[in-house]
Copies of this chain bind each other. A is one copy, B any other.
Amino acid sequence: LTEGTISTFGEHALLARVLARLPRPSPTVLVGPGDDAAVLAPVRNERLVVTTDAVVEGVHFSRAFSTPADIGHKALAVNLSDLAAMAATPRWVVLSLVLPGSWMVADVEDLVDGFAALAQRHAVSVVGGNIARTDGPLVVDVTAGGEVAPRRWLTRNGAAAGHEIYVSGTIGGAAAGLDMLQQGAGIRDRGSVCIARHLRPEPRVRLGTAMGRARAARAAMDLSDGLADALRQVAAASGVGVTVDAALLPIDECAREWWTSRRIDPVTAALKGGDDYELLFAVPAKGRAALRSARRHVSDPPLTKIGVFTKDPRALVIERAGSVDPLPEGFEHFANR
Q: Which residues of A contact B (CB under 8 A)?
A: 6-7, 9-12, 14, 30-31, 34-42, 47-56, 58-60, 82-83, 85-86, 88, 92, 94-96, 98, 101, 127-130, 132-137, 139, 141, 143, 145-146, 148, 153, 155-157, 220-222, 237, 332-335, 337
Contact at A334–B155, with CB atoms within 8 Å?
A: no
Establish whether residues B86 and A35, one from each chain, have CB atoms under 8 Å apart when the complex forms: yes
Contact A143 B52 (CB under 8 A): yes
CB-CB nearest in chain B for A94: B52
Would A37 and B146 count as touching, CB distance under 8 A? Answer: yes
Q: What would be 27 A-B contacts, judged by CB atoms less than 8 Å apart?
A: A11-B334, A11-B335, A14-B334, A34-B237, A36-B85, A36-B220, A37-B49, A37-B83, A38-B50, A39-B148, A39-B153, A40-B47, A40-B49, A40-B50, A42-B47, A50-B92, A50-B127, A50-B145, A52-B95, A52-B129, A52-B130, A54-B141, A56-B98, A58-B134, A133-B334, A134-B137, A145-B145
Please give me the residue from chain B that is nearest to A48 by CB atom. Answer: B40
Q: Are B36 and A333 in contact, with the CB atoms below 8 A?
A: no
Contact of A334 among B9, B41, B94, B337 (CB under 8 A): B9
The one of B48, B56, B82 that contacts A36, using a Cβ cutoff of 8 Å: B82
Determine which of B37, B58, B82, B132 lies in contact with A50 in the assembled complex, contact meaning CB atoms within 8 Å.
B37
For A96, list chain B residues within 8 Å (CB): 52-54, 141, 143
Closest 8 A/B residue pairs (Cβ): A136-B136, A37-B51, A143-B143, A36-B85, A141-B141, A52-B94, A36-B82, A11-B334
Question: Which listed residue (B40, B155, B332) contacts A31, Cβ 8 A?
Answer: B155
List, in ascending order, chain B residues with CB within 8 A of A157's CB: 35
Kindly provide the distance from the CB of A191 to the nearest chain B CB, expressed in whole angstroms. Answer: 30
**Contact between A222 and B36 (Cβ–Cβ < 8 Å)?**
yes
**Is there an interface contact between A133 and B59, defined as CB atoms closer than 8 Å?**
yes
Say how far A238's CB is from chain B's closest CB, in angstroms. Answer: 12
Closest to A98 in B: B139
Q: Which residues of B contact A9 (CB under 8 A)?
A: 334
> Looking across the interface, which residue of chain B has its beta carbon closest to that of A143?
B143
The residue in chain B whose Cβ has the minimal distance to the Cβ of A221 is: B36
B37 touching A134, Cβ below 8 Å: no
> Of all chain B residues, which has the CB nearest A333?
B11
Residue among A58, A155, A237 having the largest count of chain B Cβ atoms under 10 Å: A155
A145: chain B residues within 8 A (beta carbon): 48, 50, 145
